[in-house]
Amino acid sequence: MDGREKSDELFIAKKEIIFQNQEKEKLAVELIIASKELAFQNQEKENRAAELIIANKELAFQNEEKENRVAEHIIANKELAFQNEEKKKRSVELIDSNKEVGELEKRVKERTEDLESFSYSVSHDLRTPLRAINGYAKMLGEDYGTVLDTEGKRLLGEVRNNAKKMGVLIDDLLTFSRLGRKGITKSNVDMNKLIETVLSEINQSTTHNAEIKFSNLLPAVADNNLLQQVITNLLSNAIKYSSKKENPLIEIKSVQKNDELTYSVSDNGTGFDMQYVNKLFGVFQRLHSDEEFSGTGVGLAIVQRIIHKHDGKVWAEGKEGQGATFFFSLPEIAKTE
Amino acid sequence: MENSSVEILLIEDNTNDGELTIRALRKGKISNNLTHLKNGVEALEFPFGTGKFEDRNVSEKPKVILVDLKMPKVDGVEVLKQIKENELTKSIPVVVLTSSKEHPDIERAYLIGANSYIVKPVEFEEFSKVVMDLGIYWLLKNQPHL
């Protein structure tokens, strides 16, 4: 082999080497790119893994929440079931007690009706013999008055007085029993006018020197006739029990508080001992003898019955020898009723 | 005929109330022609001329009938009803007497045709006055329907 052949071979070899180097470089670059790609993909995988972990945690949390809620639901359902059971028990109890109340009401109604028809016939049938006692005593006086001496006439007078008293008693009792049967019809009542009416009626049948004070009384919503009866009884009492004082003074007042209208009638008369206050409103209950102050003991019972029918209250305050005040209150009702 | 033999027919079962009523009328000098019947059965025989009163001339009508509400067997309401339902007797004024203004029959009595309704007062003076007033009104003042 000659020189030329050798240099040609070298040249080819160099080219070959250059090419191979070039190839290597190319490969190296590709490797770098591939490595970068790999690194990026690894990063992505890690990112996703991290996201998955977070998502799993979230899921776990949500599951826990769901479980909690289910547990709460179970408890709430148990509570509901218990409450339903209780409600059932209570409604059974209510039905039972309603039945009892119904029966009681029926019995009370029957009793009341019995009592009312009883007191009605007693009052009615008592009047007939009373009229005879009174009438015959009068006839005796008219026909034989000249034959009777003073004592005889006095005795006859006692018979007549007592018959008269019993007549009043029966009338009061009738009024009282009538109240049980009658319903009430409410309207707006001008108390100032009502008191003037009552006073003019009282003044026609009774002479008294009491000073009676009242002004600008609040209007009431009540049964006019029944309220007039209340005022008549309270004012008659005030006049009667202050009649022995030198300057009898009677005051009528009204106040409004806590949805209640309260009226009071006070006098400076004989008063009463507070330890007997609970006897004042009882039927036939009296704190004075007939000689001191005449009366049947029904007036205040009538007052109480009327006020109770209006869902109101009655009470009294007093001191022996220093006057008395009688109060009654009415619940405040819409004036449009 | 203006002059009837019976002017007042009193129907009252209670002897005492009867006596008191008659006495009061006598005081007012209006008890001359009064007949007092003591029960509802007789009270119905009289105006219709039946039973005990078969021989009575029924065209002679009392000027007023006073009838007590409460009587055994045939009560005042029944008497009133029969009198007011009969052509022969329905023009006779009927005054119902009772012991109590509470009587449940008051309304019925008026519906059936009572001409007046009187509550007998316990007080004799009042009772006398009421009886006298009603006697005077029905006998002397009222113009009878013929």
Q: How does pLDDT run along chain B (146 residues), one tens digit per residue?
A: 344 467 899 999 988 889 988 988 888 888 778 999 998 888 889 888 888 888 888 888 888 999 998 888 888 888 999 999 998 888 899 999 887 676 667 788 888 888 888 888 777 888 888 888 888 888 877 776 65
What pLDDT shows up at residue A294? 80
What pLDDT shows up at residue A63? 93
Q: What's the ipTM?
A: 0.73
What pLDDT shows up at residue A337? 42
User: Residue written as tokens 């009603």?
Assistant: B134
Q: At what angle do helices B40-48 and B76-85 cross, to 10 degrees?
A: 20
Nearest by CB: A135 against B99, B103, B127: B127
Answer yes or no: are the C-beta atoms of A210 and A250 closer than 8 Å.
yes
What pLDDT shows up at residue A179? 79
What pLDDT shows up at residue B133? 85
Q: A52 touching B, CB under 8 A?
A: no
Which of residues 164 through 183 in chain A touch B, CB cutoff 8 A?
Answer: 164, 166-167, 170, 174, 178
Q: Model confidence over A40-99: pLDDT tens digits?
A: 999 999 999 999 999 999 999 999 999 999 999 999 999 999 999 999 999 999 998 889
CA dihedral for A124, A155, A243, A273, sign (positive or negative): negative
What pLDDT shows up at residue B4? 47
Under the phi-then-psi rule, with left for phi > 0, alpha for psi from -120 to 50, and beta for the rest, what region is B113? left
What pLDDT shows up at residue A124? 72
Q: Model confidence over A99-138: pLDDT tens digits?
A: 988 898 888 888 877 777 777 777 777 888 888 998 999 8
Among A224, A187, A123, A175, smallest CA distance to A333 is for A187
One-character DSSP codes across A138-183: HHHHHHHTTT--HHHHHHHHHHHHHHHHHHHHHHHHHHHHHHHH--
One-character DSSP codes across A65-124: HHHHHHHHHHHHHHHHHHHHHHHHHHHHHHHHHHHHHHHHHHHHHHHHHHHHHHHHHHHH
Ranges of chain A whose pLDDT falls below 50: 334-337
Q: B78 touching A, CB under 8 A?
A: no
CA A189 – CA A337 distance, rounded (Å): 12
Please judge whether B102 and A139 are an interchain contact, meaning their C-beta atoms are less than 8 angstroms apart: no
Please judge whether B122 and A132 are an interchain contact, meaning their C-beta atoms are less than 8 angstroms apart: no
Coil vs helix vs strand at A190: coil
What pLDDT shows up at residue B136? 83
Question: Measured in whole angstroms, how far is the alpha carbon of residue A21 from the centre of its chain?
Answer: 110
Chain B residue with the nearest C-alpha to that of A160: B123
Answer yes or no: are the C-beta atoms of B43 and B53 closer than 8 Å.
no
Q: Model confidence over B92-131: pLDDT tens digits?
A: 999 998 876 766 677 888 888 888 888 887 778 888 888 8
Coil vs helix vs strand at B88: coil
Answer yes or no: are the C-beta atoms of A305 and A328 closer than 8 Å.
no
Among A256, A257, A220, smallest CA distance to A337 is for A220
Give the gyration radius of chain B's Cα atoms: 14
What pLDDT shows up at residue B117? 86
CA B55 – CA B83 distance, rounded (Å): 19
CB atoms within 10 A of CB A152: 14
Using a CB-CB distance cutoff of 8 angstroms, which residues of chain A are in contact with residue B102?
120, 123-124, 174, 178
CA A329 – CA A317 distance, rounded (Å): 14
